[in-house]
Structure 1
Amino acid sequence: MVVYVQALDCSLLVLCGKSLAENETAKAIKTSNTLKLPENGEYSLVLHSQLDKAVMQRSFKIHSFMDSLSTNQFGRLLIWSPQLTSTQDIVSQNFCELPIGSVCVADVQTKGRGRSKNVWESPSGCLMFSFTLQMEDGRVVPLVQYVVSLAITEAVKDICYKNGLPSIDVKIKWPNDLYLNGSKVGGILCTSTYKSKKFNVSAGIGLNVINEKPTTSLNTVLKELSTGAYQFQREDILAAFFNKFEEFYGLFVNQGFQTLEELYIKTWLHSGQRVVVQEKNGDKVIEHVVTIQGLTSSGYLLAVGDDNQMCELHPDGNSFDFFKGLVRRKLD
């Protein structure tokens, strides 16, 4: 007998698949009861088919997402919750229990994370999700975040084009931030572990879609550009992202990042940017002016000094304030 859930509860974790096969996988996951659920909370696993349709119309519209999804692997098994501490925790802690490409979405995150343990504010209206992928070549794992960033920016452009909207030009601030009209609207966090000769990668994304706080959002900017009634929906962006990511990821794995690099450079904020690199030499602070040229083969920033000396800038070895044109070497 199917028991329908007629009211949303923050402790729900909803499982849904794109096809019959993925829905059978969702049922098996629910039946096995092996998922590691968030601590300090009583969560209930339910299938999407157990939810009252009227209930889902008031929140993330899973059917709308699945109808727009055209991938072969990514996004086809979805876990959704009204509220989680972190979608990244769900996918990373259950990596082996979930099919590769599975995605976890939350309406609200209470402990969203950014790079270097920064907190990412995740209010209602923000698209927050994490998904899994697996790689064998550890040398290119750091480049995955660039593929994710590019897929997000291109997904937004695709939606604008298909709906006859003015182009919303989301830009990439290296290494993993998304900016719109000078304000941060999103960020990417990719983490990985090594097991059985493979890298298990969890990619987390936060994007301001409807929420005007804490900075701005896609819909806020759209209102300034268009008098039409269209508004961005989280479900549409998520589906457009996976459709684009699967295309880009295939190119990346089979042909290398160089096939995407030109488009990436067109989308980021830094081409030709001159920055001051500060580093300590004893008690003195030495400054070098460099011009950003692009990316190295390892995915680091490639810059050239006024003396024509090339240098590599690493995200974990430097503190970046690109809007002030300043890079500080981190010291132990």
Structure 2
Amino acid sequence: MTCSLSPSAAASGLVPTPYKLIIYGYGLVAELSMACGSPCTLVLCGKSVAENEIAESLLKSNNTLKLPDDVAVSLLLHSESDKPFDEESFGIDSFMNSLSTNRFGRFLLWSPRLTSTHDVVSQNFGVLPIGSVCIADVQYKGRGRSKNVWESPKGCLLFSFTLQMEDGRAVPLVQYVVSLAVTEAIKDICDKNGLPLVDVKIKWPNDLYLNNLKVGGILCTSTYTSKKFNISVGVGLNVDNEKPTTCLNGFLRELSVMTYQFKRKDILAAFFDKFEQFYNLFVDQGFQSLEELYYKTWLHSGQRVIVQEKNEEQLVENVVTVQGLTSSGYLLAIGDDGQMCELHPDGNR
């Protein structure tokens, strides 16, 4: 878990954008004018009438979403959207109908093409309801670990959402709850549809692997204000794009399954249902309540790894065996001499 955004830094790259409000009956369209850049669309939708009204009040109160200053954007309420989007676009209605959460995923922002879903939710954290999700069909300035920039084509499930916590000791463990919810959501879909097991595994700390190839990843960032941690969670999952590694539907084809294909909307709804269940357990009982399931899903139990340490001017290598996680979320390992050690990620893998 990286704490990479300070309140001042969060506001430095994005600026409020002027808009013209047009109300048509129940819905609205807000046209945002920008000086330059190719236009994109953000569609707002809530699961309930009250949550749809949040979108309207957001614009009526002149609280403008902060967006990259080189991109022209039009905002519209989903109920008023008459634009014929691509058939491969994210299925908002189907997602909302499938969602059964009380909090997460109920307020949605969707774009066919966006710089970064993570920037949208993190830069507008105080404006959007907690649990809001931003989804893009294509993302061309996505964020990864170590501030890597990713371009994500069609076929990926790309989303970021928000949550808030008071216990700072629990914040680094959120990424593990998210990773577990993704893997278990995919298993639930397989069970529901009578599919062979698509056994996505967790590579610590925040990568997802299928058949020994990376198929997805998690990014968590946080800021601390008013005695609360504002957490933005980003998830990328290869659903129907086999390059550069593999994807869920490609794996099904390898198993000669031709009667079913994973859909992003179904995975996202299943994810939020599972995440809300796991998150409530996590908050009430700690990560210990999920550890057994997590260890069944990750790749590292009993794994032998080489640890390099500097001893005076020499680089010393020791072989250790992974035992599990420490209370702070790092790897717990034991050396051949019986000495326990804590392993940290290298920040790049």
TM-score, normalised by the number of residues in structure 2: 0.87
Q: When you count helix as a share of all residues, which structure comes out higher?
A: 1
Structure 1 residue 319 displacement after superposition: 6.2
Q: Give the partner amino acid of 1:80.
A: W
Q: 1:192 maps to what in 2?
A: 222
Preserved CA contact (<8 Å) 2:113 2:137: yes
What is the 5 A alignment of 1:247-286? Answer: 247-286=277-316
Which 4+ runs in 1 deviate beyond 4 A?
A: 2-5
Structure 1 residue 254 displacement after superposition: 0.3
Q: When you count strand as a share of all residues, which structure comes out higher?
A: 2
**Distance (Å, rounded) in 1 between the aligned partners of 2:151 and 2:85:** 26
Q: How big is each residue's C-alpha offset from its partner over 1:278-330, in whole Å with a ceiling of 9 and x where there is no partner?
A: 12234321011100000011111000000000000122xx3687xxxxxxxxx
**Distance (Å, rounded) in 2 between the aligned partners of 1:275 and 1:268:** 15
Q: 1:330 maps to what in 2?
A: none
Preserved CA contact (<8 Å) 2:252 2:258: no
What is the 5 A alignment of 1:114-125? Answer: 114-125=144-155
Alignment partner of 2:96 out of 43, 56, 66: 66
Tell me whether 1:159 sits opposite 2:189 in the alignment: yes
Tell me whether 1:21 sits opposite 2:21 in the alignment: no
Alignment partner of 1:220 out of 242, 250, 254: 250
Structure 1 residue 273 displacement after superposition: 0.3
Preserved CA contact (<8 Å) 1:296 1:312: yes
Q: Give the partner amino acid of 1:27.
A: E
Q: 1:11 maps to what in 2?
A: 40
Tell me whether 1:232 sits opposite 2:262 in the alignment: yes
Range moving further from structure 2, 154-163 or 121-130: 121-130
Preserved CA contact (<8 Å) 1:187 1:205: yes
Task: Indicate the SS of the match to 1:288.
Answer: strand
User: RMSD across aligned C-alpha pairs, in angstroms?
Assistant: 1.8
Q: 1:87 maps to what in 2?
A: 117
Tell me whether 1:133 sits opposite 2:163 in the alignment: yes
Q: Which runs of 5+ in 2 are unaligned?
A: 1-23, 30-37
Structure 1 residue 200 displacement after superposition: 0.3
**Distance (Å, rounded) in 1 between the aligned partners of 2:348 and 2:316:** 16
Preserved CA contact (<8 Å) 1:30 1:45: no
Q: How big is each residue's C-alpha offset from its partner over 1:147-168, in whole Å with a ceiling of 9 and x where there is no partner?
A: 0000000000000100000010
Task: Indicate the SS of the match to 1:90.
Answer: helix
- Count of aligned positions: 316
Q: 1:329 maps to what in 2?
A: none
Task: Indicate the SS of the match to 1:213.
Answer: coil
Q: 2:131 maps to what in 1?
A: 101
Task: Indicate the SS of the match to 2:67.
Answer: coil
Q: How big is each residue's C-alpha offset from its partner over 1:91-140, in whole Å with a ceiling of 9 and x where there is no partner?
A: 00000000000000001111111111123341111000000000000011
Distance 1:187 1:171, change over 3 A: same
Structure 1 residue 171 displacement after superposition: 0.3
Q: Which runs of 5+ in 1 are unaligned?
A: 322-332
Distance 1:46 1:53, change over 3 A: closer
Q: How big is each residue's C-alpha offset from its partner over 1:36-65, in whole Å with a ceiling of 9 and x where there is no partner?
A: 122211111101012127536441110011
Q: 2:21 maps to what in 1?
A: none
